[in-house]
Structure 1
Amino acid sequence: MPIRAIVLDIGGVLELTPDLGTAAKWEAEFGVGWGTGLGEVFRAGELGHVTLEQVHEQAVGILGVPAARFQAYMDEMWVEYLGTYNRELADYWKARRAEGYTTAIISNSFVGAREREEEAYRFSELTDLIVYSHEVGLLKPDPAIYELCLDRLGMRPEETVFVDDYEPNCAAARALGMAAVHFQDTAQAIRELDALLQ
């Protein structure tokens, strides 16, 4: 069955997001490990169980730091989160859409991401569907988030290819019958996509 839809991850794929050392820098200032209750707060943010304001309030309470300092951390975190736009891959993807392929995004995201990514990169203009974890309450590699995307697209797994920089997320897609490309660099991903689309 020919592939009809190209589904991309965002972080590490459409956005190139090297580790800028933000977490390590702020952990040193805050004086606690990120596992001290903060992991649950941030996971809740990834699943959309809390608002961004609640993330701030809860984190400030756990850390015992001034709200302005946590805001400064979050400001730097968003810079690292957004990374830089992978224009070469985005242009390739846009061209395939112009040829008739359906395009979609599945992203493990964080509350506030849609607004920031839309302002920075206008993903909604490139794709037919965006599935954000914080909006649907599911995280990759949970099969349910892929199934939700397929259902909204009206596609069978065999008609889709998924691209992600984290191999377990690719493995989960393959287990459902989707083709998958493990993104390591842009040229490699485009080569593998071309081979699958021919």
Structure 2
Amino acid sequence: MIQNIIFDFGGVFVNLDTEAVPRGLRNYGLTAPGPDLISLSERYEKGELDSKTFLACAQKAIPGSQADEIREIWNQTIAYFPLERLDFLSKLKESGRYRMFLLSNTNALHIEQVQENMGKDVFEKFRGCFEAFYLSHEIGMRKPDPEIFSFVLKTNALQPENTLFIDDTQEHIASASRLGIKTWHLAVEKESILELDKYLY
């Protein structure tokens, strides 16, 4: 029986424009983020770089770019937050049936954009639905590394067989599954978190 639920953030709750960065990079003659930019992004998500350093390093990887231009392109990834998802989450919390956690690969710039898009009151209500709110850049780990799942399980004394992890990235799902955690690979184009009941077995 599921007693605990670990939710991803982007894609599961907040809609993402996954083509925003590749689309923006085309203005600088790049068709997609190269290995250097991908590595930089992952280090930023682990909190190894602050935002100023990330933007400065990204400028070197994107010839002819300016820091404010990179910030704009970067943050266009964050789209809108459907309020029916907050209503659903609030009711789930009020039911008292599950311990609820958030586990997100993210960074300081994206979280700032999320708060701006959602508004302070909505964001705080959303955050308050969770027993713990784990952001990769704050805890120094990122999915799919097994250590991040082990950290959440151990810190909160969760049993993997009683825990459901929901994410829209297959690589993250596979990593959690190897630790015995129940999973739902949410297909964002076909499914919604509002269908959660189907996976609470």
- TM-score (normalised: structure 2): 0.82
Deviations 1:152-182 (A, max 9, x none): 3222112211111112212222221221111
SS at match of 1:163: strand
Deviations 1:53-84 (A, max 9, x none): 001112223434353xx31232132132x211
1:125 to 128, 131, 140: 128
Residues 39, 188 of structure 1: alpha-carbon distance in 2 compared, 3 angstrom cutoff = closer
Structure 2 residue 71 is matched with structure 1 residue 74: yes
Q: CA deviation at 1:145?
A: 0.8
SS at match of 1:131: strand
Whether the 8 Å contact between 2:4 and 2:162 is mirrored in structure 1 is yes
What is residue 4 of structure 1 aligned with on the other side? 3
1:30 to 22, 28, 31: 28
Structure 2 residue 144 is matched with structure 1 residue 141: yes
Whether the 8 Å contact between 2:186 and 2:192 is mirrored in structure 1 is yes
Structure 2 residue 119 is matched with structure 1 residue 92: no
1:177 to 175, 180, 192: 180
Structure 2: 5+ residue stretches without partners: none
Deviations 1:107-127 (A, max 9, x none): 111233333334444132222
* Aligned length, in residue pairs: 192
Residues 48, 93 of structure 1: alpha-carbon distance in 2 compared, 3 angstrom cutoff = same
Structure 1: 5+ residue stretches without partners: none
RMSD across aligned positions (CA): 2.4
Deviations 1:123-159 (A, max 9, x none): 3222221111112222211111111122232221122
**AA at the equivalent of 1:164:** D
Whether the 8 Å contact between 1:13 and 1:86 is mirrored in structure 2 is no
Separation of aligned partners in 1, 2:36 and 2:173: 29
Q: CA deviation at 1:9?
A: 0.7
Whether the 8 Å contact between 2:168 and 2:187 is mirrored in structure 1 is yes
Whether the 8 Å contact between 1:118 and 1:124 is mirrored in structure 2 is no
Separation of aligned partners in 1, 2:99 and 2:135: 17
Whether the 8 Å contact between 1:4 and 1:160 is mirrored in structure 2 is yes
Whether the 8 Å contact between 2:12 and 2:193 is mirrored in structure 1 is no
- TM-score (normalised: structure 1): 0.83
Separation of aligned partners in 2, 1:88 and 1:164: 19
Identity of matched residues, %:
23
SS at match of 1:127: coil
